[in-house]
Structure 1
Amino acid sequence: MQSSQLSLLDHFADHCPHLFLRCLCVWPENFDCILDQISSHLIFHSSSANHQLLVAIQFATFLFHAGHYGNVALPEDVAQWAGVSVGSVINFTNWVMVTILDEHDTFVNIPPHTLEDMERACTFTESWTCLAWRNRVFAADGSSIPLFEKPHIFGESFYDRKSRYSLNYQVYTPMHAKWNTYHS
């Protein structure tokens, strides 16, 4: 038995945006902006007699799935939340990821290396790491990825300040090699 929670999102967007954020991990305005960007992708258009669900439903299901972890992130539980099949949850996740990856250059904007903020970021990176990393760190904000459970090896070292087990990450890429690609 399934009962969709998707109908609550309209109410949350209009009257309780913090609840929308809790469900989908984005503000309603950001959801609409990204939805506008991805809706025209060919992956959401089918020539068969079986039409896909609205892109908004697919995107909301993907965000709920991607934004939760542990027992809530199981495809079965996401399917229950969205009122769709488990296969649909898996398809929506795959399709939305394809569209987001195809829109990479739209969603990711690397500022020019000549900006004062970029110089400060490079100086900061150099002071906390080494000279070789000065122009190579794309993101060093200490973002964390929550883990489902405590790792079996060195588990306590993954316990973070938010009282959960997580991994910190940063993206390493040679920034100076991409300037001409992104800002030509």
Structure 2
Amino acid sequence: MYETRYEKPRDTLPRGPSYLHHVLTALKAGRDDHFRQALRVSPQTFDKLVACLENDPVFSNNSNQSQLSVDQQLAVALYRFGHDGNGASVQSVANWAGLGKGTVHLCTRRVMTAVLRPSFMQAAVRLPTQEEKEKAKQWVHDHSCKSWRNGWCFVDGTLVPLEERPTWYGPSYFDRKCKYSLNIQVVNLPNLQIIDFSYGHTGSTHDSVAWNGTKIAQEHDTVFEQGEWIWADSAYPVI
């Protein structure tokens, strides 16, 4: 038993053809719409993410068995993030990518390790320059009431569903949509550029409370100039 590690023969599962390769070659080169449907980002955004993440040390090791390329690992993670329910199960993602379930887990973990580096987050998410702010104001001026042009950014919360109820404080993750989730606050410009966010709040957390975790909420006196404001729905307080 010490030599084989298994008392009985292993029950192997034959792997089917990988659709991952087709997405990263044929669809990426010729069908942007289908590429976006699979990975939820455009090919241009995908390439930029690969360029930003490929030098992260998490994607290199001293093992004799080399890792998958960074673009393959990122594609696996994005496909998993872009699906819900049974479609996001490890086995479903493994079938789509033609990989083992353990590899799917490793790809997801490595991508999230790289994305959550403080250096990456600070470079990817920042407050707009004065020029970018003026462009946002001009967009509001052109697409809504001219008097509202000083509302140059928007905030809303989104619920990220969890696979199962967390062991610790599980009921606090139960949200209004009857799922276990996390409340993520996102602040963006009209062009959808994210300029601030907060995470780590349970699904039952009200948007008005989770909003307080953003930098803009904590430093609104310095972020907004006289007469400027942020668009939000009725769930948020008037500051």
TM-score, structure 1 as length reference: 0.70
Residue 151 of structure 1 corresponds to which residue in structure 2? none
Per-residue Cα deviation, 1:68-102 (whole angstroms, up to 9, x for no partner)? 11111000110111111111111111100011111
Q: Percent identity?
A: 30
Per-residue Cα deviation, 1:145-169 (whole angstroms, up to 9, x for no partner)? 4688xxxxxx9x639xxxxxx9985
Per-residue Cα deviation, 1:30-74 (whole angstroms, up to 9, x for no partner)? 000100100011000111211111111111000101111111100
Tell me which protein shows more strand as a share of its residues: 2
Name stretches of at least 5 consecutive residues in structure 1 with no aligned partner: 123-138, 149-154, 160-165
Q: What is the aligned counterpart of 2:104 among 89, 105, 126?
A: 89
Q: What is the aligned counterpart of 1:74 among 66, 84, 89?
A: 89
Name stretches of at least 5 consecutive residues in structure 2 with no aligned partner: 1-13, 138-149, 164-173, 186-197, 199-210, 224-239
Moved more, 139-148 or 56-65: 139-148
Residue 18 of structure 2 corresponds to which residue in structure 1? 4
Matching of residues 55-134 of structure 1 within 5 Å: 55-102=70-117, 103-112=120-129, 115-116=133-134, 117=136, 119-121=150-152
In structure 2, do the counterparts of structure 1 residues 167 and 54 end up closer, same or farther at CA, with 3 Å as the change threshold? closer
SS at match of 1:140: strand
Matching of residues 1-80 of structure 1 within 5 Å: 1-2=14-15, 3-9=17-23, 10-80=25-95
**1:169 and 1:43 mapped to 2: Cα distance?**
25
TM-score, structure 2 as length reference: 0.55
**1:174 and 1:109 mapped to 2: Cα distance?**
10
In structure 2, do the counterparts of structure 1 residues 143 and 111 end up closer, same or farther at CA, with 3 Å as the change threshold? same
In structure 2, do the counterparts of structure 1 residues 55 and 147 end up closer, same or farther at CA, with 3 Å as the change threshold? closer
In structure 2, do the counterparts of structure 1 residues 141 and 65 end up closer, same or farther at CA, with 3 Å as the change threshold? same
Q: Which runs of 4+ in 1 moved over 4 A?
A: 116-119, 141-148, 166-169
One-letter code aligned to 2:177? F
Tell me which protein shows more helix as a share of its residues: 1
Greater relative contact order (CA < 8 Å, ≥ 6 in sequence): 1
RMSD between aligned alpha carbons?
3.5
SS at match of 2:116: helix
